[in-house]
């Protein structure tokens, strides 16, 4: 992929403060110093389990929420120091596809109106005829028909609705699309169609994708690079194939081993992992040490920082050398 940085995320941190009616307020850190870059035309996959901060991350990249600290540089501009007006104008260059194709389309609007909606914020607003032509062209490029613009969302299946959501995201010709669990709700037989569509759009339009999912197989299928998140931190990053074939962080390995595969029949042999001990002090050391089969004393004292272990591969683990040795 090209080496330019379309999206440059630096030290993104987001704290959520809960203020109960009684008692002291409590701060939880949903995102902790995440830095990564996405080149143009690149598909970057983010994987992690629920609660790892991946959706918070998506909201921040989309500037739907403001970070506690850190920057999101999109095409060289810091999204959070732009004026509201400039940000609105900038939004046409980055769009989002949501998980639920049933909840994200307004049931009372026609498909044509839903897809055209992002065009209404453009300055100057395109003429009606132009909008109609663009919608028709966009419907065809996602594998639907121009005539579908007159119909309503309930007339379409889940896979078709997700195509409509993708068409809406692409109508402003964005450079980046953030897809948060965009294929998770789809049946297997149509999941492949949508994944192929995303790969085609990358090829034909050079769109970059930030593809957020919990499914490693999907990431393996479409992503160029992958970032693995755990408890709000990026714990491993690198080329998708290398990271998934030869993980350097124990968490990535545990994720990969836990994922069912149609090539693994029967129950897998018990791993040597200790039972999850939930009660590790989250303030110090590595957040993963309670579940880590390789944890040692140092892991409880010192939080591991992301370091480069091999060309293009970063990992935040004190024991990554052991992992590298075991794999290689």
Partner 1 sequence: MTEQPLLSIRDLAISVDLPDGRTMPIVEDLSVDLMAGETLGIVGESGSGKSLASLAIIGLLPDVARPTGQILLDGENLLQASEDRLCQIRGNRIGMIFQEPLTALNPAMTVGDQIAEGLVWHRGLSWRAARREAVELLDQVRIPDAKRRAATYPHEMSGGQRQRVGIAIALALKPALMIADEPTTALDVTVQAEILDILDDLVREYRMALILVSHDLGVIARMCDRTLVLYAGRRMEEGPTRAVLGTPLNPYTRGLVAAVPRRVSGDGRLASIAGTVPGFARLPPGCCFSDRCTEATDDCRAVAPGWFLASEDRALRCLRVERREIGR
Binding positions for partner 1, rule: CB under 8 A = 49-50, 157-160, 187-193, 195-196, 199, 203, 214-218, 220-221, 241, 254-255, 257-268, 278
Choose among 7, 45, 1, 4: nearest CA to 237. 45
Q: First vs last Cα of the chain: how many Å apart?
A: 26
102 Cβ contact partners less than 8 Å away, ≥ 6 residues apart: 153, 158, 161, 185
Q: CA dist 251 to 124, 200, 236, 295, Å? A: 49, 32, 9, 11
Q: How far apart, in whole angstroms, are the C-alpha atoms of residue 328 and residue 323? A: 8
189 Cβ contact partners less than 8 Å away, ≥ 6 residues apart: none
- Report residue 11 CA to chain centroid gap: 17
At 238, is the secondary structure helix, strand, or coil?
strand
**What are the structure tokens assigned to 268, written together?**
């897998």
- Report residue 121 CA to chain centroid gap: 25
CA-based torsion, 283, 34, 221, 174: positive or negative: positive
Q: How far apart, in whole angstroms, are the C-alpha atoms of residue 62 and residue 66? A: 10
Q: Which residues of 253-275 are buried (b: 16+ CB within 10 A; e: fewer)?
A: bbbbeeeeeeeeeeeeeeeeeee
Cβ closest to partner 1, residue 75 vs residue 259? 259
Cβ 157 to partner 1 shortest distance, Å: 4
Q: How far apart, in whole angstroms, are the C-alpha atoms of residue 227 and residue 221? A: 15
Cβ closest to partner 1, residue 128 vs residue 154? 154
Residue whose entry in the numeric block shows the structure tokens 């110090």: 284
Q: Are 171 and 134 in contact (CB under 8 A)?
A: yes
Residue whose entry in the numeric block shows the structure tokens 């739907």: 64
Strand-pairing partners, residue 77, are 74
């Amino acid at each position: 992929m090209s080496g330019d940085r379309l999206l440059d995320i630096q030290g993104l941190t987001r704290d959520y403060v809960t203020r109960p009616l009684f008692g002291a307020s409590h701060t939880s850190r949903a995102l902790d110093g995440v830095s990564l870059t996405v080149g143009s035309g690149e598909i970057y996959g983010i994987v992690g389990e629920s609660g790892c901060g991946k959706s918070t991350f998506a909201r921040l990249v989309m500037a739907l929420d403001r970070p506690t600290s850190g920057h999101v540089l999109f095409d060289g501009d810091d999204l959070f120091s732009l004026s509201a007006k400039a940000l609105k104008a900038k939004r046409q260059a980055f769009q989002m596809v949501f998980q639920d194709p049933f909840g994200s389309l307004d049931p009372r609007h026609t498909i044509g109106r839903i897809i055209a909606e992002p065009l209404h914020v453009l300055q100057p607003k395109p003429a009606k005829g132009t909008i109609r032509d663009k919608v028709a062209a966009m419907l065809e490029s996602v594998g639907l028909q121009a005539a579908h613009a007159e119909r309503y969302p309930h007339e379409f299946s889940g896979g078709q609705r997700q195509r409509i959501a993708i068409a809406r995201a692409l109508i402003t010709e964005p450079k980046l699309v953030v897809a948060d669990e965009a294929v998770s709700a789809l049946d297997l037989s149509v999941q492949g169609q949508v994944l192929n569509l995303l790969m085609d759009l990358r090829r034909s339009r050079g769109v970059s994708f930030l593809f957020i999912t919990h499914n490693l197989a999907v990431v393996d299928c479409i992503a160029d690079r992958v970032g693995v998140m755990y408890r709000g931190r990026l714990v491993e990053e690198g080329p998708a194939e290398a990271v998934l074939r030869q993980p350097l962080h124990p968490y990535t390995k545990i994720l990969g081993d836990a994922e069912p595969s149609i090539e693994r029949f029967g129950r897998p042999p018990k791993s040597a992992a200790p039972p999850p001990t939930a009660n590790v002090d989250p303030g110090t050391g590595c957040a993963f040490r309670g579940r880590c089969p390789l944890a040692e004393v140092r892991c409880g004292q010192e939080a591991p920082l992301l370091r480069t272990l091999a060309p293009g591969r970063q990992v935040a683990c004190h024991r990554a050398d052991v992992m590298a040795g075991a794999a290689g």
